[in-house]
Amino acid sequence: MSSAIAESTSIEVEGKLETLIPPELRSLHIENPYVDFKIDVGEDGTLFDAMPTKAVHRDLLPAAHEVVQAVTFIPAAKRRMYAKSSGSYVYQMSDKDELDSPLTQLLTTRRIYSSQNGVSTKGRCLVEYFVGPNGRARFPRAIESDNNDVAISAAFTLLKTRFNPPRKNGHPTYVRVKQDFESR
């Protein structure tokens, strides 16, 4: 089986990724307020997707998301780029067994991709992806695949799939999922 794993490298932005702390949080005196994002940026600097992965307070998420959407990314040579820092977190990834209720698929639209017109796609792949707090599948990537068309079809399908929003102890979270896809 071949592997179709995208490279991860640091990203750069023009300007700063900073915003003011929302007024309702100022009285909390949060030390080192931040939000980490998993970001997918195209070769030309286009932002494809941004999902918060860690934050010192969940109410920082809306303002941080606005800044990420507004910033200009410097074009890079590779896709699937990630930003990372460290600290203690209130918002973070959860294991599937830590969720308040099992992760349930609500809606999916199967999408088939074929690089050759009229040729059916056959094979299997193992895909890893995240389900974010809004129930959307995010950042799908093939870990193993015997056919690139199957891997692309799985990614396209996942991007149209919706799940019940994952929650841990009543709070929004995100979860990493590995799933087999097969096309016959």
* pTM for this entry: 0.59
Q: What is the average pLDDT value for the chain, to the nearest integer?
A: 76
pLDDT of 38-75, one tens digit each? 887 777 777 778 888 888 887 888 888 888 888 888 76
Rounded distance, CA 137 to CA 107, Å?
Answer: 11
Rounded distance, CA 94 to CA 68, Å?
Answer: 23
Termini Cα distance of the chain: 17
pLDDT of 71-91, one tens digit each? 888 765 533 433 333 323 345
pLDDT at 177 over 70: yes
52 and 90 in contact (C-beta within 8 Å)?
no
What are the structural domains, with CATH classification, of the chain?
8-91 (3.30.2420.10), 94-184 (3.30.2420.10)
